[in-house]
C-alpha cells in the first residue's frame, strides 16, 4: 500500500473518530463540521471530500464493521450449515475490534450514555439505517455465494440478509431497552434461533 492510500485511510479514520467522539461528548447539534475538521487537523472543506455529511462520518465505522462481517461470512468453511455460519459471524461481530484499544475511554459510563443519546438522534437514524441497507447488500451477496442462488433472480439471499440485519437491530434495541442486565450474545442467539424456527407465536 502506497503512502498516498495510507494517508487517506488515516485522515478518514481521524475524521470519523473525531466526529464520533465530539458528538458523544457534546451532542449532535453542538458539534459543527468545522469542529470535526479541526479535531482531525484538516480544513473544513476537506471533510466533505471524505464524507457527505456529519452523519456519514459518524456511521462509517459502523458500516465498516458490518462490511467486515459480510466478508467473514464468505470466509466460513463451505460445508458449514448456513444458519450456523450466520450465527457464528453475528456473534463474532459483537466483540470489540482492535480500534477500541487504540482509543481508550476514560469514563465508561458517560460514554455509554453519550452513545445512547447519539443513536437516538433522528438525523442519525436515517444514516444508520442506510448503512445497514448497504451492508445488507453485501451480506446478500455472501449468502448467494454460499447457497448457490442467483442474486438477481432469487429473493432468498436478500431475504436472509434482510432478516439477519433485522435480528441484529432488534437485539440491539432490546438491549438498550432492558439495560445491560441481559447479554447481547444471548439476545442475538435467541433472535436468530427464533427466526430459523419460523417465529412461531410463543
The residues that touch a second copy, with contacts defined as CB under 8 A, are 81-82, 122, 125-127, 129-130, 132-133, 147, 149, 152-156, 158-160, 162-163, 165-167, 169-171, 173-174, 177-178, 187, 190-191, 194-199, 201-202
Residue closer to a second copy by CB (options 9, 173) is 173
**Nearest approach, Cβ of residue 60 and DNA (Å):** 13
Residues in contact with DNA by the rule CB under 7 A:
2-5, 7-8, 11, 31-34, 42-46, 48-50, 52-55
Query: What is the separation, in whole angstroms, between the first and last Cα of the chain?
Result: 53
**Nearest approach, Cβ of residue 145 and a second copy (Å):** 13
Q: Which three cell numbers stand for residue 156?
A: 432468498
Q: Which three cell numbers stand for residue 31?
A: 458539534
Cβ–Cβ < 8 Å for 156, 142: no
Neighbours of 129 (CB within 10 A): 13
Name the DSSP class of 52: S
Which partner, a second copy, DNA, none, binds residue 115 by CB below 5 to 8 Å per kind? none
Residue closer to DNA by CB (options 53, 145) is 53
Percent of the chain as helix, strand, coil, to the nearest 5:
75, 0, 25
Amino acid at each position: 500500500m502506497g503512502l498516498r492510500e495510507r494517508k487517506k485511510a488515516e485522515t478518514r479514520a481521524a475524521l470519523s473518530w473525531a466526529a464520533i467522539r465530539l458528538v458523544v461528548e457534546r451532542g449532535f447539534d453542538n458539534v459543527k463540521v468545522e469542529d470535526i475538521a479541526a479535531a482531525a487537523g484538516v480544513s473544513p472543506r476537506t471533510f466533505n471530500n471524505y464524507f457527505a455529511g456529519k452523519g456519514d462520518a459518524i456511521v462509517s465505522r459502523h458500516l465498516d464493521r458490518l462490511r467486515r462481517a459480510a466478508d467473514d461470512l464468505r470466509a466460513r468453511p463451505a460445508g458449514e450449515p448456513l444458519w450456523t455460519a450466520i450465527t457464528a459471524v453475528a456473534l463474532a461481530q459483537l466483540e470489540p475490534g482492535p480500534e477500541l484499544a487504540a482509543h481508550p475511554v476514560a469514563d465508561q459510563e458517560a460514554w455509554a450514555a453519550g452513545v445512547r443519546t447519539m443513536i437516538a438522534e433522528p438525523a442519525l437514524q436515517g444514516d444508520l439505517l442506510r448503512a445497514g441497507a448497504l451492508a445488507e447488500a453485501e451480506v446478500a451477496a455472501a449468502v448467494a455465494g454460499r447457497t448457490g442462488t442467483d442474486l438477481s433472480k432469487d429473493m432468498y439471499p436478500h431475504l436472509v440478509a434482510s432478516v439477519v440485519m433485522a435480528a441484529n437491530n432488534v437485539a440491539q434495541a432490546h438491549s438498550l431497552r432492558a439495560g445491560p442486565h441481559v447479554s447481547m450474545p444471548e439476545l442475538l442467539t435467541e433472535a436468530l434461533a427464533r427466526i430459523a424456527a419460523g417465529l412461531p407465536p410463543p
